[in-house]
Amino acid sequence: MTVTAYDFSIKQNRPGKIVALHLNFPSRINERGRNPKFPGYFLKATSSIAPTGATIERPAGTELLAYEGEIALIIGKDARRVSPEDGWSYVSGITAANDWGLYDLRHADKGSNVKNKSGDNYTPLGPAIISAEGIDPTQLRIRTWVNGEVVQDDTTEDLVFPFGQLVADLSQLMTLEEGDVILTGTPAGSSVAQPGDVVEVEVDAPNADGAPSTGRLVSNVKESSFAMADYGHGPKVDDLQREEAWGSKAKAGLEDPRAILTPELREKISKTAVATIVANMRKRGINNCTIDGPRPMHPGQQILGFAKTLRYVPNREDLFKKHGGGFNKQKQAMDSVQPDDVVVMEARGEKGTGTLGDVLAMRAKVRGANAVITDGGVRDAAAVAEVGIPVYSNGNHPAVLGRRHVPWEMDATIACGGTTVQPNDIIIGDDDGVVVVPPEMLVEIIDESYEQEKQDEWVYEQVKNGAAVDGLFPPTGEWKAKYEAYRAAQGE
C-alpha cells in the first residue's frame, strides 16, 4: 500500500472545495440522539486548511472550541452523477482530518457553519495520504488523542452512509473535481479542547497489507488575544451548546436534570400510589395534573419517566402530503427516544384512528422508553400488547394515522388528556391513571406521598382489626400518638 507525505496547506496543493458531512458514525449518532435518513453537508473554506503541527487559536471571550477527528476522502478524478456502487472508484486517497469548530458561533450562520467551522487552521489535513487502491473502505480506523490519551477510536465497518454513497450523492448536482476533499463525519468522543492541549488524529488500515497509516496529524491549541468584533455576530453559548460541544452534560460540568430520579427516590415512587401523589398535588393548589381518559393496556404495572412529547393536528389533506409521509415527526419522536422517556402524545382525544402501532411501539421500547401515553387510539392492539412496553390509550381503532391526524411537533409543550405536559415533566402512572409532576416539585411531593402511604397502610390495618375511622382516618389525638410510636419503633 502506498503512503505519500503531502502538505495540503501549500496554496497549489489546496483542494477546490471541502465538503463536510454532519453525521455518519453510529456511535456519534447515538451520542447525539439523532437518526438521519440521508446525508447532510456543509462547506468549509479551503483557507482553513492547516498542516500537522499547526496552532489552532481560540478567540478571546469564547469557550467551546471542539475537535472532531475525521477520515478525509480525496477525489482522484472528476465525478458527475456517478452511482453509489461506483463512488469509491473515484476516491484516490485517504488522509486524516480534524474538523475544528467554535460552538460559540454556531448561532451565527443558520446551519451553514461559515464562521463556526472555517476559521484559519480549522481544517488540518495530513500528514500523509494512503492510496485508495486495494483498500477496503469498510476496514479503516480513526483515532484521536488529547494530550496522549485516546478519546476517539472507531472503524468504518458500519457507517450509516458508505463512502461510495457520499460521492454519488454529492455528484448528483455538483461535479466533484480531482483533488476535492470530503470529510466523512466524526465518531463518538468529540469534545472541547483547552488552550495548551495537543490534539492528534490518525487514520490507518490495520487489516491491509503493511497496515498503512497517515501518521498523526497534530494540532496545538492556543488562547488568542483576538476577540470577535461587535460589527458581526459575537460569541453566544447556552447549556445546550455546552452539552453538545463537550459531548454530555457530565463532561460539560452541567447538572443533569435526570439525576433527580435517584435509586432511593425511584424506590419510594414504586411504593406510592398515583392517587396519593394527586392528593398531595392538590394540597399545593395544583388540580389539573392528571391525564384523563387514557387507560392502561397492561394493567398492574407502574410507569415512571420523563415526558417526551409529540403533538398531532387535525388532518388537512394538503398538510398531510407535506408532513405525514416519510420520516415524519411521529417517526422522529420514536427514533430520538432516550432511556427513561415516556412518550406522551397529544391527539385531542380523537379516538377514530390509531396514533401508535406495533412497529413504533417496538422502536420506542428498543430505544429505552418506559411507556407510551396517547389520548388517541391504538391500532394493531394485540401486536402492541405483545411488544411489552406499557401503553395508555383512549381505546383501539383499526384506521391509520392519516384518517384524522397530521404528525406536527415534538419536544414542545402539549395538552394530553386535558392537562398540560412539558418535555421532561415527570410522568407517573398506575391502574388509577397518570399524573404529571413538575420536576422541581418531585422530591417534596414524593417524600410527603410516601409518608402518607406508610400512614394509610397502618390505618388500614387498624380498621381491618375493628377500629372505627373517627379520629383514625386521618390519625388525630391518641391515634396520632400511637402512629408516631409505631414509626419510632420501626426506626423511621
Question: Distance between CA 409 and CA 115 in Å, rounded?
Answer: 30
Query: Would you say 358 is a known binding-site residue?
Result: yes
Q: Supply φ then ψ for residue 305, to 5 degrees.
A: 170, -170
Residue with cell 494530550: 147
Query: Would you say 456 is a known binding-site residue?
Result: no
Q: Any residues with CB less than 8 A from the CB of 181 and at least 6 apart, and which?
A: 8, 15, 17, 18, 19, 72, 73, 74, 75, 97, 125
Query: Which CA distances in Å does 97 have to 34, 77, 135, 215, 269?
Result: 23, 21, 18, 11, 49
Q: Which amino acid is at 83?
A: S
Query: Would you say 360 is a known binding-site residue?
Result: yes
DSSP string of 59-123, one letter each residue: EET---EEE-EEEEEEE-S-BSS--HHHHGGGEEEEEEEE--EEGGGGGGGTT--HHHH-STT-E
Asked if residues 475 and 452 have their Cβ atoms less than 8 Å apart, the reply is no
For residue 433 the three cell numbers come to: 391513571
Query: Would you say 379 is a known binding-site residue?
Result: yes
Query: Would you say 404 is a known binding-site residue?
Result: no
Q: What is the DSSP letter of 58?
A: E
- The CB-based long-range contact list for 155-161 (8 Å cut-off, 24+ gap) reads 156/71, 158/26, 159/24, 159/25, 159/26, 159/184, 159/185, 160/23, 160/24, 160/25, 160/26, 160/29, 160/36, 161/21, 161/24, 161/39, 161/185
Query: Would you say 196 is a known binding-site residue?
Result: no
For residue 328 the three cell numbers come to: 415524519
The residues facing 344 across adjacent strands are: 309, 373
Q: Which residues are annotated as a binding site?
A: 357-360, 379-380
Instruction: Pick out the residues of the known binding site for Mg(2+).
Output: 380
Known binding-site residues for substrate equal 357-360, 379
